[in-house]
Structure 1
């Protein structure tokens, strides 16, 4: 397939990153990079259709079970598959099983579309960032291998220092904020062969670090509002996505 084609449809598969957390809109819903990408593709192709099957909190096994067959049946021009990172953050994680499930997903999705897009997910820089480094690197090796096998595009967000800047991340320290999602949309846009509209890897302007008391207040707020609830869900086996439907379950025309 030639890059920079006029794509007429997009299906996004994955977890909270692809759902759009935490690029919040005024009504409390989330937008995110996939919606932004769909809007840009739709501006070039009248009748463009878009589905987003992603649901927050999903592990790769759930993505394969709940989303992949549905996405493959839609026969979209472009399919984005991002998953597995939630698995690597669990206390126990069978990386080879995760890679096998990613392989199953790619094997089903690649023949169903014109262009499969995979990603090396971004990571926030800072204390504790290297705790899961070995797992993440193995996950990325698997992604590279699948891309080579299927002719998929790999968008390397992880290597972009700018996307590690804490200022591009939400208060929960797990999800990108609006500017981060906007940069991811630009990265995928360019990976699909379109002319760059900006340098998505450009660093943010330097800024003075916040005062010590502001950092500590932020740490306390993070622990109270995000970390403790996250630990509670892990201990009880619950997920933030339990019972939640996909944001756009059908491949329908996308209004720009």
Structure 2
């Protein structure tokens, strides 16, 4: 069942679930983050009035955090609009498996939709490509992100979500949209996300205010900014990942090299596709 349109005269309750992308990382205002969701919220109602906006997204959140912690808090707020954008952090963990991810995301979408929420979703770029990792390291991450995006696409269709294709080249190829860390949008990127979601919501009769401005107030990060991030915060980010993902990723990279040398890399793609097919079939039975 698809929820009804939001009336221009009604109070709009907009709740955001997810990770650092939705928390606003990359769009700093003062001492905190703003981000695309806050920019979008201002354009949902004329003058921004009659709006109840709550951002539950937390940096580092995985699908388990969204399902177990953020979902109950969101349901208690009875939102008409609920953004659910998650998955990259799942792919960056050694425990990643597409089956549990699909079940958790299906539960989140099902419960929010049953409560009367219109969902906002997005597929996400491949982190290995965004970081410019060597091919043997990047391919396993790309395979995981493709599976996550396939699940997001399927569930977005099932639950009538307002969906944005952030994995498309139009988003990933424009480096000016991204912050110095290469993983999060910069201010221009967050504004572009807000504008794109506002357009989709307006077409569905769900946004009645002025669209967010696409023009950034701060300059785009330079190459020097990116190098500085890698030398400071980026080093800490890599260290945190080394204890969890890196050992497994190196094993996956070794498998990539072996299969490439043997001309059998298609077997790895076939295994991932089989796991994805089973995951999607399991959510259809539930």
User: Do they superpose with TM above 0.5?
Assistant: yes
What is the Cα deviation at residue 54 of structure 1?
Answer: 0.6
In the alignment, is the contact (CA less than 8 A) between 1:79 and 1:109 conserved in 2? Answer: yes
CA distance in 2, matches of 1:138, 1:199: 33
Asked if residue 41 in structure 1 is aligned to residue 48 in structure 2, the reply is: no
What is the Cα deviation at residue 121 of structure 1?
Answer: 2.3
SS at match of 1:172: coil
- Of structures 1 and 2, the one scoring higher in RCO (CA 8 A, sep 6+) is 1
Pairwise mapping of residues 83-98 of structure 1 onto structure 2 (< 5 A)? 83-98=86-101
Residue in structure 1 matched with residue 24 of structure 2 by the alignment: 20
Moved more, 179-188 or 148-157: 148-157
In the alignment, is the contact (CA less than 8 A) between 2:130 and 2:182 conserved in 1? Answer: no
In the alignment, is the contact (CA less than 8 A) between 2:67 and 2:108 conserved in 1? Answer: yes
CA distance in 1, matches of 2:199, 2:165: 12
* Residue of 4, 8, 13 corresponding to 1:9: 13
CA distance in 2, matches of 1:66, 1:52: 13
Asked if residue 63 in structure 1 is aligned to residue 66 in structure 2, the reply is: yes
* Residue of 162, 170, 190 corresponding to 1:153: 162
Pairwise mapping of residues 76-87 of structure 1 onto structure 2 (< 5 A)? 76-87=79-90
TM-score (norm 1): 0.76
**Greater gyration radius:** 2
Residue in structure 1 matched with residue 147 of structure 2 by the alignment: 138
More helix as a share of residues: 2
Q: Which runs of 5+ in 1 are unaligned?
A: 201-213, 238-256
**Number of aligned pairs?**
222
CA distance in 2, matches of 1:149, 1:57: 27
CA distance in 1, matches of 2:175, 2:21: 16
1:149-184 CA deviation, whole Å, 9 max, x = no partner? 222221112215145322221112211110000000
Two-structure CA RMSD over aligned residues (Å)? 2.8
What is the Cα deviation at residue 198 of structure 1?
Answer: 9.2
Asked if residue 234 in structure 1 is aligned to residue 214 in structure 2, the reply is: no
Residue in structure 2 matched with residue 100 of structure 1 by the alignment: 103
CA distance in 1, matches of 2:164, 2:212: 16
1:207-239 CA deviation, whole Å, 9 max, x = no partner? xxxxxxx95x666533321332012223567xx
What is the Cα deviation at residue 197 of structure 1?
Answer: 5.5
TM-score (norm 2): 0.68
Residue in structure 2 matched with residue 186 of structure 1 by the alignment: 195
In the alignment, is the contact (CA less than 8 A) between 1:17 and 1:175 conserved in 2? Answer: yes
